[in-house]
Amino acid sequence: MGGGRPPMPSEEVVKAIERFNELRSPEATARLLGEEGSRLTVEVSGPFCASCGLYDYFDDLAWELRDSLGAEVEVLEVQRVGPESYVAIYEIRGQVERSSKD
């Protein structure tokens, strides 16, 4: 095997999703659908406050992932898959620099 990224730490991904759900559920609940390489597929569902900034939920999960993984995380795509359900694709990128306080 050459030059690929190491497997993502699934335990850290699960922790980030659990933390997101603690803060956002039942208004928005995340569920990991899959991991492939440096990408995560996550379903986010619930009675969102769409007028309050629907995409804030996806960004909030990206920040939870960043904090848990210690890596940059970008929302690549969000698709509506049901009346109260979206699938988001996240890209895990290079490590973030941590200060000595972390």
Give the pLDDT confidence of 56-97 residue by residue, as tens digits. Answer: 999 999 999 999 999 999 999 999 999 999 999 999 998 766
| Residue (of 87, 55, 91, 88) closest to 72 by Cα position | 91
Give the pLDDT confidence of 40-49 residue by residue, as tens digits. Answer: 999 999 998 7
Write down the pLDDT at residue 66: 96
Whole-prediction pTM: 0.81
Write down the pLDDT at residue 1: 43
Domains and CATH numbers, the chain: 10-94 (3.30.980)
Angstrom distance (rounded) from CA 16 to CA 10: 10
- List, in sequence order, every residue forming a beta bridge with 79; answer none if it has no partner: 87
Helix (H, G, I), strand (E, B) or coil at 68: helix
